[in-house]
Structure 1
């Protein structure tokens, strides 16, 4: 098990790495779809479909679980949150209604809560599993 300054450096490096991963995942799932769908009754939906958001969440879940299982909890939580918040801001910043700020805030709070919960569960399961193995 890595201890001391090297462990701290790896924790700190995991933050920008996982932020970049979150940005890339957002771009892959949501970044290319910018067109709203107009229905026959004149209502609009989108620009994202439910399958795109589900794909984003599941892919992010995999990266958060991977990082948390290696005890990079700080990177999993803060890196992913920063990456998603930056991606949402960049993607939605052209909204003239002002509601994009609320949406970005909700992405930030939701991703912080979700990644913290998943990370602490995964880290706790790994810790109890390694205690039994010792």
Structure 2
């Protein structure tokens, strides 16, 4: 696998040996249990526009969890990891994925990562609220 890989630890999905992998060449993050990909978050990076200090905007487009693994917290685990990595890299995010948008709404400590409405540009009308 190409990209960063993190083993996670904790009380839920993490405690079951789920690894979080950034597949940068495929524009996605994966939650991997053993050899099985059990959740994926797809994104696309957009070049800096000059707003917000010229930060790259990572458009978080779609989160998919294997149906048989729903309810285990895998989506939340993946979103938190992606947002933490975006913060560490100085990126802004646009949550066009409804799951990511709702997750950030429930975790206001990540609201500072949201791209301004100037940066959002083409995202208007895609379920965002113009943040």
Do Structure 1 and Structure 2 share a fold, with TM-score over 0.5?
A: no
Higher RCO (Cα < 8 Å, 6 or more apart): 1
Which one has a bigger Cα radius of gyration?
A: 1
Q: Which has the higher helix share?
A: 1
Task: Give the alignment's TM-score, normalised by structure 2.
Answer: 0.33
Task: Give the alignment's TM-score, normalised by structure 1.
Answer: 0.33
Q: Which has the higher strand share?
A: 2
